[in-house]
Every structure is written in C-alpha cells, then in structure tokens.
C-alpha cells in the first residue's frame, strides 16, 4: 500500500508536469467545451423554434412531442460524441508524449480520426446506457432512485475507465473492449483509485478557492464595492475555468499513463523515477503506437 500511494503521487506530479511542459494538451478540453456550448446553443434555438407550437395549443400533439424527443436525442448524442472524440485525441497525444515524442494538437486529432468509426459507435453506446440508467432511476421514487443512478453511473464509469485507450490502441469489438477495460481497471485498481482521488482533491481545492472568491465578490458587489466585487467575481470565474481545463487534461494524461502501465508494465524512467515493475503475470500483449 505505501508503494501504491508513493507511485500514485509521483504519477500525479508527472501528469501535471507534462501539461505544464506541453500546453497542446489543454487544447482538447478547450475545443470540447466550446463545441458542447455550440451544441447547447443550437438546441436552445431549436427549443425556441418549437415554443410557438406549445403556445398555440399544439403542445400535446404527437408531431411536436416527436420533434422534442428527436432534438433531445440529437443533443445528448452530440455531447457524448464530442466528449469521446476529444478524450480520444487527448489520450492519443498524451501517450505520444509518454513515449518520448513531442506531439502537437494535430497529432492528437489524427489519432482520434483514425478510429472515428469505433469512437462514434462507442459514443452511441455510452450515451444510450447513460440515458437508460437515468430513465430507470427516474421511475423509482426516493432514495432507491438516487441509489440506482449513483451506483449504476459509478459502475459504468469503472467498467469503461480504459475504454478510450482500448478503442484507440487495440482491435476488438465493443463487448470485448468493454471486458478488456474492466480487466485493466482491476489490474491497476489501487493506483487508479488513489491517483484519481489525489487529482480530485487538488482540483477540488481550486474549485473551492474559485467559489470563495465568487461569493466574496457577490457580497462586496451587493455591499456597494462594485469594482472590487467584480474583480473578485471575474477572478473566481477565471480560476474555475483554468482549474477545469487543467483537471480535464490531467485526467486524460493519467488515463493514458495508467493504460500504458497496464499494457507494458512500465513508464519511462525519465518521466517517473520509480518506474513500475512488471506484474507477476507479465503485461498484456496489446501494442502501443
């Protein structure tokens, strides 16, 4: 256990150092965020376009209901695809970086584009499963529904933790890839859990700092200190955005590094001084680029 915590902390520092050394890794969460905002804006326009039909008394008609369902499904899938595609590009670029190369953002997008078909299918699958979990949970009253949503979502997240790198670097179908992802998570359970907790805590500190600044800014704004209040609010928003981008990039680098460890049993010694040792059964045979 001490080795797990020690390695996890070193891996966390390595991930943040890679991001500081290569700002191209921040491009992917930025593009994903802007694309999702664009989708939501278009969805809002579509909702406003349908609104007159409700105001005119046609809100209960099957045609209008169908249009709203189609709009919702299209938005839900689009957001899922954007997240999956950007994550694949980030993991691809991070893996190239861990392999000692100097990737650009274009290299990451190239990796994702080479697996476009598989990523599209996976985006559809994960969006469908996520929607089903929420639909089932919504039909159950009280705490039971909340438990179904929480446990179902957590279980799915664990089982699919390594899905993106598996889809990028291995040639298996969706079901075998899901099984493979689950096995990889089990084989790296301790380090995966601890590392993600450490990153979550670090990001949480930044989020709390942003919230404190925002609340103080609002209090000062309502108290009459307009300029100082606005400065604190803007600072809080800026910190929240930066923390969110770094957190998203760090999560992608960690996933790439953990997958690399699970499949090769090592991480470059110049990136992580105490390199991981091979597992007792040896590393899986999946190739890396």
- Tell me if 289 is assigned to some domain: no
Instruction: Give the per-residue pLDDT at 53.
Output: 67
CB 82 within 8 A of CB 35: yes
- Tell me if 274 is assigned to some domain: no
Q: Is pLDDT above 60 for 76?
A: yes
Which of 5-9, 68-72, 106-110, 171-175 is predicted least confidently? 5-9
Model pTM greater than 0.85? no
pLDDT, mean of residues 65-69: 78
What is the residue-averaged pLDDT of the chain? 81
Which residue would you say has higher pLDDT here, 63 or 197?
197
Instruction: Supply the range of the domain harboring residue 105.
Output: 2-264
- Tell me if 275 is assigned to some domain: no
Using CA atoms, how far apart are residues 165 and 92, in angstroms rounded to an integer? 8
Q: What is the pLDDT of residues 214-267, one digit of tens each?
A: 899 888 888 877 788 888 889 988 888 888 888 888 888 888 888 887 887 665
- Tell me if 277 is assigned to some domain: no
Using CA atoms, how far apart are residues 93 and 8, in angstroms rounded to an integer? 21
Instruction: Give the per-residue pLDDT at 106.
Output: 92
Using CA atoms, how far apart are residues 266 and 288, in angstroms rounded to an integer? 12
- Domains identified in the chain, total number: 1
Q: Is 141 helix (H, G, I), strand (E, B) or coil?
A: coil
pLDDT, mean of residues 130-147: 81
Pick the closest to residue 261 from 54, 99, 82 (CA basis).
99
- Tell me if 282 is assigned to some domain: no
- Tell me if 108 is assigned to some domain: yes
- Tell me if 259 is assigned to some domain: yes
- Tell me if 96 is assigned to some domain: yes
289 pLDDT band (50/70/90 cuts)?
very low
Q: What is the pLDDT of residues 82-116, one digit of tens each?
A: 999 999 999 999 988 888 788 889 999 999 999 99
CB 262 within 8 A of CB 184: yes
């Amino acid at each position: 256990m001490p080795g797990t915590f020690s390695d996890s902390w070193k891996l966390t520092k390595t991930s943040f150092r890679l991001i500081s050394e290569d700002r191209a890794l921040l491009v992917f969460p930025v593009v994903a965020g802007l694309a999702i905002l664009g989708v939501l804006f278009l969805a809002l326009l579509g909702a406003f376009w349908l609104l007159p039909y409700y105001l005119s008394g046609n809100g209960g008609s099957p045609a209008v209901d169908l249009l709203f369902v189609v709009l919702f499904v299209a938005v839900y899938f689009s957001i899922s695809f954007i997240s999956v595609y950007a994550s694949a590009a980030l993991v691809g670029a991070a893996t190239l970086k861990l392999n000692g190369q100097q990737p650009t953002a274009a290299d990451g997008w190239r990796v994702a584009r080479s697996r476009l078909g598989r990523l599209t299918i996976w985006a559809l699958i994960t969006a469908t499963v996520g929607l089903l979990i929420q639909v089932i949970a919504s039909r159950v009253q009280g705490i039971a529904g909340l438990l179904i949503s929480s446990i179902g979502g957590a279980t799915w997240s664990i089982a699919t933790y390594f899905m993106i790198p598996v889809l990028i670097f291995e040639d298996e179908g969706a079901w075998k890839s899901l099984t493979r992802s689950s096995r990889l998570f089990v084989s790296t359970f301790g380090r995966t859990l601890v590392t993600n907790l450490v990153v979550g805590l670090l990001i949480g500190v930044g989020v709390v700092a942003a919230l404190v600044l925002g609340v103080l800014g609002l209090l000062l704004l309502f108290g009459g200190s307009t300029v100082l209040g606005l400065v604190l609010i803007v600072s809080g928003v800026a910190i929240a955005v930066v923390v969110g981008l770094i957190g998203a990039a760090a999560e992608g680098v960690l996933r790439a590094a953990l997958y690399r460890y699970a499949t090769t049993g090592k991480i470059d010694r110049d990136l992580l001084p105490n390199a991981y040792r091979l597992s007792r059964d040896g590393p899986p045979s999946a190739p890396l680029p």
